[in-house]
Amino acid sequence: MLRNLDLTALRSFVMVAELGGVTRAAGSLFLTQSAVSMQIRRLEEALDLQLFLRAGRKMLLSPEGEMLLSYGRRMLELNDEALSRLGHGQYEGEIRLGVPYDIVYPAIPPILKRLSQNYPLMRINLVSSYTLHLKEYFEAGKLDLMLTTEERPDPEAEVLHERQLLWIGAVEGSAWQRRPLRLGFKQSCLFRPLAQAALDQAGIPWEMAVDGDSEQVIEASVAADLAVTVRIGGGLPDGTQPISGENTLPQLGRTRIALYTAEGFASPRVSEVGAMLISELRAAYGAASA
């Protein structure tokens, strides 16, 4: 007699395997730990196999578990793809999230992936830009949720965390030692006037080396040791590093990561997913290292 694998239990299994434990998997699936443990146990009983080798709090995949993980990922991918295509034009709603360029990674992709997997009929759209532009979109009603990086968030915002502002340059670069100091910023970057004012106060001459609309060009110029710029601690572009050592550039202080939420969502279903997204953002950015 043919048997069918329980896709719900299989999704829990894959999440536990990928995240390394029941606790984190339960949070990502928005289930209790006992519910996830029960699904894993039922899957093992249905297959008459041990999928994990439990050593204290660690859960390591057994050889059979490693094989099932490969199949499970493919099965869930097909399941989600089928639901997405068959549900075309019948989406349950849409959530529009705005996030500044410099804090998209590493938190946002896995958060949106988990929500997309759990709610394949929900459109979750990411808009990434500078804080000034995102706030304009938010005020125009074009965003439902928004993260910002700013020194003084508006009163209605929820401050999630504070992070240090860092001067960054090329790995093993020397551009930061040259005078005038060559800077790379977009015109609308909130950190640009802060950096210029700090340099003026420290008596360090500067000039704009890169001043355009392409963030990629600025990051490439910094990585090529043609200029320096400012970023938030916690995630830096490839090929760059914080500037440190003797005769370092002036301190820039700290900035805040804030969460803005629009008044009400379009439907109860969108509100449900929006609440889960808010919870994930609080966990990811509130617990981030300074």
- Look over the chain and give the mean of its residue pLDDT values, rounded to a whole number: 86
CATH number of 7-86: 1.10.10.10
Give the pLDDT mean for 134-148: 91
Give the span between the Cα atoms of 39 and 289, in whole angstroms: 33
Structural domain spans, the chain: 7-86, 94-161+256-286, 163-254
Look at the chain and count its residues: 290
pTM: 0.64
Q: Which fold has domain 163-254?
A: D-Maltodextrin-Binding Protein; domain 2 (3.40.190)
For the ranges 9-18, 130-139, 226-235, 237-246, which has the lowest average pLDDT? 237-246
pLDDT for residue 290:
41
Instruction: Look up the CATH architecture of domain 94-161+256-286.
Output: 3-Layer(aba) Sandwich (3.40)
The single residue listed with the structure tokens 């896995």 is 110
For the ranges 20-34, 99-113, 118-132, 154-168, which has the lowest average pLDDT? 20-34
Helix 33-47 and helix 22-29: axis angle, to 10°? 110
* Of residues 10, 17, 3, the one with CA closest to residue 44: 10
Give the span between the Cα atoms of 139 and 157, in whole angstroms: 13
Phi, psi of 128 (to 5 degrees): -120, 130
**CB-CB contact of 184 with 227 (8 Å):** yes
Give the pLDDT mean for 246-263: 87
For the ranges 83-87, 139-143, 259-263, which has the lowest average pLDDT? 83-87
Give the pLDDT mean for 59-71: 91
For the ranges 3-17, 80-94, 141-155, which has the lowest average pLDDT? 80-94
pLDDT for residue 104:
87
| 3-state DSSP assignment of residue 122 | strand
Q: Is 80 exceeded by the pLDDT of residue 13? A: yes
pLDDT for residue 284:
86
Give the pLDDT mean for 82-102: 77
pLDDT digits (tens, 9 = 90+) for 32-57: 888 889 999 999 999 999 999 876 66
Domains 94-161+256-286 and 163-254 share a fold: yes
Of 47-56, 163-172, 183-192, the range with the highest mean pLDDT is 163-172
